[in-house]
Structure 1
Amino acid sequence: MGIGLDAVTALSPAGDSRAGEVLRLRREISRMQRRRSEHPLLPLDPAFSSLLPEEGLQTGTAYTVSPSPSLVLALLAAASSKGLWCAVVGMPTLGVEAAAAFGIELARLILVPEPGDRWLAATSALAEVVPLIAVQPGSRARDADVSRLSARLRDRGSTLLVTESTTTGAWPQSEGAIRLHDQHWLGIGEGWGLIEGSTATVTARTRHSPLSSSVRVRLPGTHGAVEELPTEKSVGEITTEPTTLHGLRGGAGTPLEYPRLAVAG
């Protein structure tokens, strides 16, 4: 029961056919008849557990996230592995092989790659039955539309991950922000090699926790899931015992005399 990769492949046709696709999507969604979630949180990968105060994503809310496919997939993975449905709207370059590598169950993943100007309608329809949705807005949403979608999220207990951009900015009425930065790709050299993954810093901040939290991770990890990396000590944290360098002092503790240096130029 439900919609998988075979049932919903795209909302990409141009013109009025998009409206028909949205209506078909609504009909398919109504068949799923998901009840409102009674769980206040959606799970996160253990590597992300320290980012948020509750160690999970609050249901019925929206989060602003970086437009990184790796981050989006990492945030979906834990909920998918627990048997929950997930959806991705407006991300045509997101690969299903990459999703599987993060441990996402493809049979419970809904993809709407190119909804065009219907991205908000598709997201609102999916919020009726899908617990966790990631969306890349095609345009800036009006305040009234944001308020209606927020009300639907609260009513149905769905969680929304909205990617930010220079055009749309941060999502209004966002519960918090989860951003990826300092990303370094692994496996590639100077014009050669295959990408094996990446390391990056993920930072989160919420309305109830203004102080940001960060974690250094590998996306994906060596076994497919997110892998937390050890925190590197800063220069101020590294302490060493003073070391005596032979030859700088004489045997009796008297400084050695060196010949004068000539200055040229």
Structure 2
Amino acid sequence: MGIGLDAVTALSPTSDSRAGEVLRLRREISRMQRRRSEHALLPLDPSLAALLPEEGLQTGTAYSVSPSPSLVLALLSAASRKGHWCAVVGMPTLGVEAAAAFGIDLTRLILVPEPGERWLAATSALAEVVPLIVVNPQSRARDADVSRLSARLRDRGCTLLVTESPAVERWPQSEGSIRLHDPHWHGLGAGWGLLSDCTVTVTATTRHSPRPSSVRVQLPDGHGAVEAAAAELTALPSLAAETASGRSAVDDTAPTELLHWAEAG
């Protein structure tokens, strides 16, 4: 068997054995013996395919993406359903149940939740054998290290999705960016109801197609996955909207807290 959720130990940033854990990870994943991908593209979910010119993620490249767990899982889902291994590095709050709802094969999903400063070493090791990796950088990488990792991606045909953060707003040598914006939650009325789904806009640009391309999707939809938004679907009033009596429907801090909870799965 390969290594799945129950076979990977988190790389602890507080332990002197971090380097040993990275070496152990290298030995474990080397058993998978993945050859270089013969495919030029990794598939995207049909609701997201129109974002990119060739309707898929180019292999051997890196993309900058919004740090939304829902977007990350949506981008992994189609490749996982096709039988590809996936890995997520540095996202300890990523929900395993949410991943399953997106159709991701948990037996082919590798999680390294807290690599600390060893995030680049873990990513580089995984790139040897895993065709699709998401990484949330813990610090800014040196140009030389980025160049070496980029060369490994090209050599192994691996695709890297790098979440944007204050430390790394845009990944150097990125093929393009995929960003989520304008979220509208549904299901709440004037102080009543339950969150059911969220409609968002996802926009992508690439080096070869700098003109932005956008799609409107439900992310997550009523089943916790992703699907194209119906044209007639409109959001209910904002959680912070004023009621007819002039009083706020809910506390102004609620939207941020609910969005964080929902994305964390």
Question: Which TM-score applies when normalising by structure 1?
Answer: 0.84
Once the two structures are superposed, what CA deviation does each residue of 1:186-218 show, in whole Å capped at 9, x if it has no partner?
Answer: 345677655433210000000000101000000
In the alignment, the residues of structure 2 paired with residue 106 and residue 32 of structure 1 have an alpha-carbon distance, to the nearest angstrom, of 16
Secondary structure (helix, strand or coil) at the match of 2:88 reads: strand
Report the counterpart of residue 31 of structure 2 in structure 1: 31
Once the two structures are superposed, what CA deviation does each residue of 1:78-97 show, in whole Å capped at 9, x if it has no partner?
Answer: 00000110000000000101
Runs of 4+ in 1 over 4 A off after TM superposition: 188-194
Report the counterpart of residue 61 of structure 2 in structure 1: 61
Q: How does 1:1-265 map to 2 (within 5 A)?
A: 1-12=1-12, 14-188=14-188, 194-231=194-231
| Aligned AA (1:25) | L
Structure 2 contact 34–129 (Cα < 8 Å) conserved? yes
The number of aligned residues is 233
Q: Compute the RMSD of aligned alpha carbons.
A: 1.8
| Aligned AA (1:168) | V
In the alignment, the residues of structure 2 paired with residue 158 and residue 39 of structure 1 have an alpha-carbon distance, to the nearest angstrom, of 10
| Aligned AA (1:159) | T
In the alignment, the residues of structure 2 paired with residue 112 and residue 125 of structure 1 have an alpha-carbon distance, to the nearest angstrom, of 12
Secondary structure (helix, strand or coil) at the match of 2:78 reads: helix
Structure 1 contact 216–228 (Cα < 8 Å) conserved? yes
Secondary structure (helix, strand or coil) at the match of 1:47 reads: coil
Structure 1 residue 229, shift from structure 2 partner:
1.3
**Structure 1 residues 192 and 131: alpha-carbon distance in aligned structure 2, compared to 1, 3 A threshold:** farther
| Aligned AA (2:99) | A
| Aligned AA (1:217) | V
Structure 1 residue 13, shift from structure 2 partner:
5.4
| Aligned AA (1:173) | Q
Decide which moves more: 151-160 or 10-19: 10-19
Secondary structure (helix, strand or coil) at the match of 1:111 reads: strand
In the alignment, the residues of structure 2 paired with residue 204 and residue 23 of structure 1 have an alpha-carbon distance, to the nearest angstrom, of 36
In the alignment, the residues of structure 1 paired with residue 134 and residue 194 of structure 2 have an alpha-carbon distance, to the nearest angstrom, of 28
In the alignment, the residues of structure 2 paired with residue 140 and residue 36 of structure 1 have an alpha-carbon distance, to the nearest angstrom, of 28
Where does structure 2 lack aligned partners over 5 or more consecutive residues? 233-265
**Structure 1 residues 164 and 5: alpha-carbon distance in aligned structure 2, compared to 1, 3 A threshold:** same
Structure 1 contact 61–154 (Cα < 8 Å) conserved? yes
Where does structure 1 lack aligned partners over 5 or more consecutive residues? 233-265
Structure 1 contact 101–220 (Cα < 8 Å) conserved? no
Once the two structures are superposed, what CA deviation does each residue of 1:127-159 show, in whole Å capped at 9, x if it has no partner?
Answer: 000000000000011100000000000000000
In the alignment, the residues of structure 1 paired with residue 98 and residue 192 of structure 2 have an alpha-carbon distance, to the nearest angstrom, of 21
Report the counterpart of residue 238 of structure 1 in structure 2: none
Structure 2 contact 70–219 (Cα < 8 Å) conserved? yes
Structure 2 contact 36–155 (Cα < 8 Å) conserved? yes
In the alignment, the residues of structure 2 paired with residue 32 and residue 183 of structure 1 have an alpha-carbon distance, to the nearest angstrom, of 39
| Aligned AA (2:130) | V
In the alignment, the residues of structure 1 paired with residue 98 and residue 168 of structure 2 have an alpha-carbon distance, to the nearest angstrom, of 26
Structure 2 contact 196–222 (Cα < 8 Å) conserved? no
Question: Which TM-score applies when normalising by structure 2?
Answer: 0.84
Q: Which has more radius of gyration?
A: 1
Once the two structures are superposed, what CA deviation does each residue of 1:197-254 show, in whole Å capped at 9, x if it has no partner?
Answer: 321000000000010100000013345541111457xxxxxxxxxxxxxxxxxxxxxx
Secondary structure (helix, strand or coil) at the match of 2:51 reads: coil
| Aligned AA (1:184) | H
| Aligned AA (2:137) | P
| Aligned AA (2:228) | E
Structure 1 contact 103–224 (Cα < 8 Å) conserved? no
In the alignment, the residues of structure 2 paired with residue 37 and residue 131 of structure 1 have an alpha-carbon distance, to the nearest angstrom, of 7
In the alignment, the residues of structure 2 paired with residue 189 and residue 3 of structure 1 have an alpha-carbon distance, to the nearest angstrom, of 45
